[in-house]
Every structure is written in C-alpha cells, then in structure tokens.
Amino acid sequence: MIYNLIKKSEFDKVKNHSGDWATRMKLFADMCRYNTLVAVKKAGSGHLGSSLSAMDIVTYLYLNELNILEVGLDSPDRDIYFSSKGHDVPGLYSLFYALGIIPEEKLLMLRRLHGLDGHPEVRQPGIEASTGSLGMGISKAKGMAWAKNYNNNKGNVYVLTGDGEFQEGQIWESLQATAHQKVNNVTAIMDHNKYQTDMLVADVNNIEDVVQKVSCFGWYVVRIDGHDFNELKKTFSKLKSITDKPKMIIADTIKGRGVSFMEKPLTETFQGKTLYKWHSGAPDDESYIRGLDELSDSINKLADEIGIEKINIPENKTEGKVATKLDKEFVTDAYGEALVELAKTNKKFVVLDGDLSADCKLRNFEKTYPERFIENGIAEQDMVSMAGGLARMGLIPIVNTFASFLAARANEQIYNNAGEKTKIIYTCHFAGMIPAGPGKSHQSVRDISLFSALPNVTIIQPCNAEETKWATDYCINVAEENCVLRLVIGPSPERIQLPSDYKLKVGVGATLTEGQDAVLFGYGPVMLHEALVAADYLKKIGFGLKVVNMPWLNKIDSEWFKSIVKDYKKIFVLEDHSAVGGLGDRILNELVKIREISGYEFVNFGLREYPECGTPLEVLEYHQLDGKSLAKRISGIENIEEAESVKQKYTADAPQ
C-alpha cells in the first residue's frame, strides 16, 4: 500500500492566494479531508465520519478566528480550541499538518507508538485538552475561560461537542453552571451531524429541541449550516457583540461530508432505524480509492474556480492483496449468542445498552427480544441507576458499555446499587489494553480494582468463546450477587484451548501448560496468548512454565490454589490491568492467607504507568508484556533466542 499526503506547501499556496475567500476555505478543508482519509487508512482505524463533518468548522476557526498562529501555542493570551467528543481528531491532526503544527511523519503515524494518539492527548502539539468519557468538554472549557478572567489573560475558549454527547448528564450540569457563574468567554459548537455510533441521535435518545433547551440554561444560541463558510463568518462576527452570556452554535453538518457514499447511511435499516456505516474504522481498499478520487475531483474543481495553480495531489494506491481468513474468534460474539439462547428459558433478564449495541454484539438480542432491550444512549450513570430500579423490582438487568465508561464514570451509581443487595450484571466490554489504537481514554486498566472494592461482586474474564458462554450462564442463572463480565473487544490472538475435562467452577482455574520451574496466572485471550508465547520461548532453554488460566479475578478456591502452587517457589501473575488492584493483589493476599508466602518469589507483571497508544504488539512490547519480553523477565536472560547454552542450568535446577 502506498500512502502519500498532499504536501504542506500546497496548503500554503491556497492560504496565501487572493481568490474568493469562501472557495479557498472549501478547498483547504477538502485537502485536509483527503489527508485525513490517507491517515486513517494507514492507521487501520479511526473516526472518519466525525472528522469529515467537523472539518469546515475547524478550518474556519484556525484560519480566521484563532490567534494561536500569531501569538504562539504557549501564549497565555492565545485563543483555545479543543474537541470534547474527540472522535474528530484525525481531521484536526490533518489541519495541524497543513498549518505546520505537526510534521508529515507524525500524521502518517496516527494510532502508532510514539505517533499520534487515537483520541486527543495534551502531549501532542496543539491539543489543549485530553478527551475522556464524553460530556467533559464544556466543564473543562469553563475552567479554562474562568482562569483567563482570573489571570487577566486575553483570548476566548472554543469547544466542539458532538450531538450524541448531549445525552450525557455532565453536559447539562456544565451548561447551567457556566451561565450561572457568568463565564461568558466560552463558545461551544455542536457538530450536529445527526448520527452517533451508527444510528440517528433522534432514534437513540432524542436531544431536540436543543436550541430551546440550551437557551433555557441562559446561553445565547444560534443554529446555522456548519458547512457554509459565509454563514460561519457572519455568525462568529455576531458573537463578538454578545458579552453577557456564554455562546453556543448548533452547527448542522453532514457526517462523512465530502465523500458522497460516506454522507449517506446504509440502505439497510434495523427495526425501522437507519444505520450509518462510517463512524469508525478504516475504509476497505475500494472505498478508500473511491473516496480519494471524489475528493481529488472536488479539489481540482475548486482550484479551477479561483484560478489557482493546479494542486499537486499525490498518488495513493492499493496493492490488491487478497485477505486471508485467520483462525481467530471474538468472545463478544459468543456473549451475544449466549444472551439470545439464555433468553429462551429465563424471562427475568433485560439488556441495557449505552449506544454501543453493534460493538457489544447485542444487535441479535435487540432484534430478537426488542421488548427486553433498553437503549439508554450515551448516559452511563442514568443507565446504571435505571438498572438499580429494575433490579429492585425483581428483574435481572445486564448493563453493557465499554469498561472505561462503566466502571469509573458510573462508579457511585454501581456502589449504590450494590448496597441494595440486588443482582445486576455489568458487562465491561473493551477491557484491558488491547486494542490500543484509541488510546488511554478507551483502554480499561482500572476496572478490576474499582469493582473489587465491593464485597458482593464476582468478577469473571473468560479466555475463549466456550468459557464466555459458561460465564454468561453462570452470571444469569447461578450467581446470587452482582457480577462483572470482563470482555476483550477485539479478535483473540489465538483460540485458547482449555482442558477437555474443564468445567467452570467458582474460584478454580485451568492449567494450560505444564512446567516445573515456575507458575504464571493469567486471564483473558490477549494476555494468555502472550503467556503461552513466553512458555514456548522458555521451553527452548529447558525452563518449564506452568500457565494457568484464572477467569475468577476476585474469587480463589483455597484448596485448588494450594494444589497449584505447592511445588513452586516462583509465582508470576500477568495482568491485563494496572499492577495495582488486579488479580495479582488477590493472589498475593491468598498466599498470605494460606501462610505460604515465605520463600516465594512473587512477581506481578502489570501496568505501572498509563497505557500507550499503538498497534497491539507495539504497545505490549513497550510495556514489556509481550511473550518474548515476559520470557526474558522470567528467566533473567536478555538474549533468550541465543540461550540454548544455558539449557542445562535450568534442567539441573528443576525440581525432581
């Protein structure tokens, strides 16, 4: 695959040209769209729909309103712009490249280690605020604007929000407080492209009439065409005269703007609801080239309109590789299948979703049992407290969203529910570090610790599809207390093979490999794969590593545990989590409990820093949690591939 960007010199040519202003803005924005498509395709993932819908807005702001290119990125008097939703950051990066804020090689390292994060992070030049779970932006903008007033600094604060983001409770708290506190140097802009993950906002959790609602909170609100540069110019000029209120622009936009087939939803519908395809993910080869061709045509036509020298559009092409089907599995597929199957015999459970039905593999359940499916939209706290009410009425609610958004954002609501001694199942999707491309806002590495603090919660992470179905059945039909199902969202690196006689039993794991020199406890398909790779490396030097799948992250059967560790002095735990508060702490406590801690070498391999962004292998290697690095850390041998000469040492030292 060849990936080439439109060069910065071409953007300079457009910026400095004297032709029609609005046409130059359109041209500049479409050139950024072209580079955004290249960057996301090379990354293999990213958010195109939002990047393309917001592009005209950010192009207008940076070329016409913001003073940062004049006063500098670090000036206390700079205007500040940032995105609250964060999905549009590939487009913002493309604009930063066009303006000389980031270099070409950085843009081509989107979602790569030491490149550009998949969601905004302040470590990147030009990024003013890190994006987290949705809804934080206006509150953060208010803080920045308040500080400017306090410090007597010049400059305004602009924050971009999504429309689906207005389902979050914090948005409405921030709207009320900003007006009440008279923080009037804030302008919020809604990229109102009408779609959230893959459905219309109006179908998921309608926010209209948003103009009237926001106005009632004391804001000056105007609704405009977010793709009309003349209207943008007129609106921002008008806002300069509004000094007694915070301002909001509801910018009506088109998701996927600039690429015809990305502007249109899929022709198929789901229960009468229109589906949108291009929210996230890289386009296939055919769509990629087609999109670039459309943007190239638009760029050439706009350049002709203003009589500018022809824009040098680079060649990008695919190599026509035939995709191969890999023997991988998604444990979330098994989870979705289990829900549908179990619903036939258990009519007490209902499924709740936080605008992630497709990602969480709930669509089949939603279609089969619509009367037992509740879509809450982007409102995790509301969803969890609703689950509490359902549970109090004797139902079994199953709450679904990404682990990062559930365990932390709704933690107080989870705590309240747990204290009522009801039963709720919390399914934490996108658990752990991988995939790492979206960055730390999505990598859930603290959820085990947050749930483990509750005394009446069982936490399970299955390692393969079969164990996922067993665990789902256990949570619904057997468990008497709250349960957490922790699921990896991406494809498993390999199908973890469990012993033929293995059955799911509380507090008991399964031995995957035999070995006499050390035992390693792990969980989930990603880390167990790395553990098995490490065992293979170590086997070559005569070091036997016993790998144990331990799906019960906060329950340990003492007798089983004693039988597993009794012949070992070296005990390792491999976390897909922070080194604090995960399985390692539980196992260490168990060793103390059974009075077997003396004489043991105990090492917990877990995160001791924020997780990095990049490809799976890049990130695992960076944190030394890949199989090869683990083998080195366990054996103490750096050049483990060349370590055949030490084979006899381990053989001689092995227990007889």
Q: Is the CB of residue 654 less than 8 Å from the CB of residue 516?
A: yes
CA–CA dist 553, 560 (Å, integer): 15
pLDDT score of 656 more than 90? no
Least confident of 309-318, 468-477, 480-489, 581-590: 309-318
Which pLDDT value is given to residue 493?
95
Q: Taking Cα atoms as reference points, which of 287, 271, 289, 79 lies closest to residue 186?
A: 79
Q: Give the pLDDT confidence of 54-70 residue by residue, as tens digits.
A: 999 999 999 999 999 99
Q: Taking Cα atoms as reference points, which of 222, 279, 215, 273 lies closest to residue 252?
A: 222
β-bridge pairing 545-549 and 269-270: unpaired
Percentage of residues in the chain with pLDDT exceeding 70? 96
Q: Is the CB of residue 458 less than 8 Å from the CB of residue 327?
A: no
Q: Taking Cα atoms as reference points, which of 450, 456, 458 lies closest to residue 412?
A: 450
H helices, E strands: number in the chain = 26, 18
Which pLDDT value is given to residue 266?
76
Q: Give the pLDDT confidence of 419-463 residue by residue, as tens digits.
A: 999 999 999 999 999 999 999 999 999 999 999 999 999 999 999
Single-letter amino acid code for the residue at 426: Y
- Cβ-proximal residues to 341 (8 Å cutoff; 6+ apart), any chain: none
Task: Count CB atoms within 10 A of the CB of residue 96.
Answer: 23
Residue 322's alpha-carbon distances to 286, 319, 325, in angstroms, are: 13, 9, 10
If DSSP codes are grouped into helix, strand and coil, which group holds residue 414? helix
Half-sphere exposure of 261 (CA within 13 A, CB side): 13
Residue 603's H or E segment, with its range, is strand 601-607
CA dihedral 643, 644, 649, 652 (to 10 degrees): 150
Which pLDDT value is given to residue 597?
67
Q: What are phi and psi of 424, to 5 degrees?
A: -130, 140
Task: Count CB atoms within 10 A of the CB of residue 260.
Answer: 11
CA–CA dist 590, 597 (Å, integer): 9
Averaged confidence pLDDT in the chain: 93
Tokens of 116: 């550009």
Q: Is the CB of residue 530 less than 8 Å from the CB of residue 630?
A: yes
Which pLDDT value is given to residue 152?
97
- Cβ-proximal residues to 217 (8 Å cutoff; 6+ apart), any chain: 172, 175, 176, 179
Which pLDDT value is given to residue 371?
97
Which pLDDT value is given to residue 640?
78
Residue 572's H or E segment, with its range, is strand 570-578
Residue 92's H or E segment, with its range, is helix 89-98
CA–CA dist 270, 204 (Å, integer): 12
If DSSP codes are grouped into helix, strand and coil, which group holds residue 476? helix
Which pLDDT value is given to residue 6?
97
Which pLDDT value is given to residue 272?
78
CA–CA dist 243, 156 (Å, integer): 11
Between 75 and 2, the more confident residue is 75
Q: What's the order of all strands across the beta sheet hosting 186-192?
A: 80-83, 157-162, 186-192, 247-252, 220-225
Is the pTM higher than 0.75? The answer reads yes
Residue 132's alpha-carbon distances to 103, 273, 278, 405, 600, in angstroms, are: 25, 28, 21, 9, 40
Mean pLDDT, residues 12-36 taken together: 96
- Cβ-proximal residues to 325 (8 Å cutoff; 6+ apart), any chain: none
Residue 547 pairs in a beta bridge with: 513, 520
Quickly state the pLDDT bin for 269 (edges 50, 70, 90).
Answer: confident
What is the residue-wise DSSP string for 379-410?
-HHHHHHHHHHHHHTT-EEEEEEEHIIIIITT
Residue 107's alpha-carbon distances to 3, 40, 83, 119, 120, in angstroms, are: 11, 9, 18, 13, 13
Which pLDDT value is given to residue 645?
44
Which pLDDT value is given to residue 58?
98
Quickly state the pLDDT bin for 322 (edges 50, 70, 90).
Answer: very low
Percentage of residues in the chain with pLDDT exceeding 90? 90
Quickly state the pLDDT bin for 571 (edges 50, 70, 90).
Answer: very high
pLDDT score of 572 more than 60? yes
CA–CA dist 643, 267 (Å, integer): 59
pLDDT score of 116 more than 90? yes
φ/ψ region of 599 (left if φ > 0, alpha if ψ in -120 to 50, else beta) reads left
Mean pLDDT, residues 564-574 taken together: 95
Which DSSP letter does residue 165 get? Answer: G
Chain centroid to Cα 326, Å, comes to: 24
- Cβ-proximal residues to 629 (8 Å cutoff; 6+ apart), any chain: 620, 621
If DSSP codes are grouped into helix, strand and coil, which group holds residue 428? strand
pLDDT score of 649 more than 90? no
β-bridge pairing 273-274 and 269-270: antiparallel
Which pLDDT value is given to residue 655?
30
Mean pLDDT, residues 398-419 taken together: 96
Residue 499's alpha-carbon distances to 12, 196, 538, in angstroms, are: 63, 43, 21
Which pLDDT value is given to residue 320?
56
Q: What's the order of all strands across the beta sheet hosting 510-513?
A: 510-513, 545-549, 518-522, 570-578, 601-607
With vertex at residue 620, the alpha carbon angle to CA 461 and CA 121, rounded to the nearest 5 degrees, is 95
CA–CA dist 478, 424 (Å, integer): 13
Which pLDDT value is given to residue 461?
98
Task: Count CB atoms within 10 A of the CB of residue 340.
Answer: 15
pLDDT score of 321 more than 60? no
pLDDT score of 323 more than 90? no
